[in-house]
Structures are given as structure tokens and as C-alpha cells.
């Protein structure tokens, strides 16, 4: 798929998918040349294209309120909403020796999730609850929030987001004992299509000891207490 052009076969597949909720893989789908352009080059290109979108919609870009919108949107995409696509923006994940020999569950609750669905580029907003059982190393609490934010800041589906957070925690802490619970509202459900403004989506991923019923129940007790 060169120069960003979609093949007829891919277009046909997209038509078949339609509005269905689909996750292709655990890894965010990126082209091999995803980082060939600098941030400023990407901003300039997106600005040009978004200007065309606004003009196509019939908007008057000579209006003071609209004249700077294409540049603002381009910067928002590259430097904020989708900054998690670029590996250089990944937060450092230093760990520390577990000097206190703490060997029970640690749960970081109520972490803000702000992402965008990759099907309509509309917001996904909710909370994540992340837990792990130390295996010789621990991590600063704010780092857990940063992991969630990093993987949220890219076009996503919620299932992939939960798995990416889980795998990053496992890799960083060298432990299999990790759990991730995400409860989020999808604007592509509430603002378009069915326009259901009361539903939310829950995804849960367990690894290691969290697959055991007692550990799972303990984790969900903490989470459910937060949701009351």
C-alpha cells in the first residue's frame, strides 16, 4: 500500500466491515515509513488537508474564528491526541528494588482514559484500573498513569488498549501478575449511529495470578468499590 493509497481489495474489505467494531491486531497498525516525516512536516500536511475538508463543508476560512482552525487541528493531532504513536514520546519506565518486600496486590484506580476510536476518530473517555503483584521490582505510581496515557494517545479500539497496557506492565515489571480493567464511553456510539448516550464499554485483561478466581475476585472488589 504505497503513498497512502488504498487498494481496491482493501476498500472492498472496508465496505464489508462497515460500522462493525473490529480489532486487527494487538499492535497499532503502522506503515513502515510512519516516522519518516518530522512532526512539523506532518503538521503542515495535515493542515493543508484539513483546510480542504473545511472548504468542502462550505466553511468560510476568511472568518476570524475559522482561519486558524486547520493549523490548530493539525497540531492537536500530532502533538496531543495521537502523540502516543511515536515511540520517542513513550515515558521512561524506571523500576525500583522492592525493599519493603511488598508481595500483595497493588491497584492504581480511576486513571483517566482519553483516546480516540480508529473507526471514526471520535473520543473514547473513561477510567482504567491497573493492578500488579510485585516480583522483586516496583514502579512509581505515576508511571502507571503515564503508561495508560501513552497507549491512549493514538487511534484505538478498547480491547487493544487494554492489552497494550497489560503487556507494557508485564514487560516493565518482569511479572506475569497484571490486571487491567477499562470502563469507557465511546462517542461513536453516543453521538452518531444508534446515539445511545447511556451505555459504556468494559474490557478486562488478566495475566498470571489474576487468572486465579480468588485473586480475580479481590481485584474486582477494589474496582467495584471504586465504581459505587
* Residue 113 within any structural domain of the chain: yes
CATH number at residue 42: 1.10.286.10
Residues 110 and 176 in one domain: yes
Read off the pTM: 0.86
What average pLDDT does the segment 69-78 reach?
Answer: 98
Residues 43 and 103 in one domain: no
pLDDT for the residue numbered 25 = 74
CATH number at residue 122: 3.30.1130.10
Last residue of a domain, one of 47, 81, 115: 81
What is the three-class DSSP state of 139?
A: strand
- Domain of residue 101, residue span: 95-227
Segments in the chain forming alpha helices (H) = 8-17, 39-56, 69-76, 141-152, 158-173, 187-190, 213-227
Question: Among this protein's residues, is 218 annotated catalytic?
Answer: no
Total domains present in the chain: 2
* Residue 147 within any structural domain of the chain: yes
Of the candidates 129, 158, 164, 168, the residue annotated as catalytic is: 158
Last residue of a domain, one of 51, 81, 111: 81
Q: How confident is the model at residue 14 (pLDDT cuts 50, 70, 90)?
A: very low
Question: Among this protein's residues, is 120 annotated catalytic?
Answer: yes
Question: Among this protein's residues, is 117 annotated catalytic?
Answer: yes
Question: Among this protein's residues, is 119 annotated catalytic?
Answer: yes
pLDDT tens digits for 166-209?
Answer: 999 999 999 999 999 999 999 887 777 777 777 899 999 999 99
Residues 67 and 173 in one domain: no
Of the candidates 51, 118, 168, 205, the residue annotated as catalytic is: 118
Who's near 202: CB < 8 A, 6+ residues apart? 181, 182, 183
* Residue 126 within any structural domain of the chain: yes
Grid cell 471504586 in the structure block, residue = 226
Residues 108 and 216 in one domain: yes
Residues 45 and 77 in one domain: yes
Parallel, antiparallel, or unpaired for β 137-139 and 155-156?
Answer: unpaired
* Residue 201 within any structural domain of the chain: yes
Residues 140 and 215 in one domain: yes
Of the candidates 108, 150, 164, 188, the residue annotated as catalytic is: 188
Question: Among this protein's residues, is 186 annotated catalytic?
Answer: yes
What average pLDDT does the segment 210-214 reach?
Answer: 97
Who's near 204: CB < 8 A, 6+ residues apart? 162, 179, 180, 181, 182
Of the candidates 47, 51, 108, 119, the residue annotated as catalytic is: 119
* Residue 86 within any structural domain of the chain: no
Residue 16 has pLDDT above 50, yes or no: no
Greater confidence (105 vs 5) lies with 105
Of the candidates 47, 51, 117, 164, the residue annotated as catalytic is: 117
Amino acid at each position: 500500500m504505497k503513498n497512502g493509497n488504498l487498494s481496491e481489495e482493501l476498500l472492498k474489505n472496508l465496505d464489508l466491515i462497515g460500522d462493525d467494531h473490529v480489532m486487527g491486531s494487538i499492535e497499532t497498525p503502522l506503515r513502515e515509513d510512519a516516522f519518516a516525516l518530522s512532526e512539523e512536516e506532518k503538521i503542515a500536511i495535515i493542515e493543508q488537508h484539513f483546510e480542504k475538508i473545511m472548504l468542502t463543508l462550505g466553511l468560510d476560512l476568511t472568518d476570524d474564528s475559522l482561519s486558524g482552525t486547520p493549523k490548530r487541528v493539525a497540531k492537536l493531532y500530532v502533538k496531543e491526541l495521537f502523540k502516543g504513536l511515536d515511540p520517542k514520546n513513550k515515558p521512561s519506565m524506571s523500576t525500583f528494588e522492592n525493599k519493603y518486600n511488598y508481595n500483595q496486590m497493588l491497584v492504581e484506580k480511576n486513571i483517566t482514559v482519553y483516546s480516540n476510536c480508529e473507526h471514526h476518530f471520535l473520543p473514547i473517555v473513561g477510567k482504567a484500573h491497573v493492578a500488579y503483584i510485585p516480583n522483586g521490582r516496583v514502579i512509581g505510581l505515576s508511571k502507571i498513569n503515564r503508561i495508560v496515557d501513552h497507549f491512549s494517545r493514538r487511534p484505538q479500539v478498547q480491547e487493544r488498549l487494554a492489552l497494550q497496557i497489560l503487556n507494557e506492565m508485564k514487560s516493565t515489571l518482569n511479572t506475569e501478575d497484571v490486571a487491567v480493567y477499562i470502563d469507557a464511553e465511546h462517542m461513536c456510539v453516543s453521538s452518531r449511529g444508534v446515539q445511545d448516550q447511556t451505555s459504556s464499554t468494559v474490557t478486562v485483561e488478566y495475566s498470571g495470578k489474576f487468572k486465579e478466581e480468588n485473586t480475580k475476585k479481590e481485584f474486582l472488589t477494589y474496582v467495584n468499590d471504586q465504581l459505587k
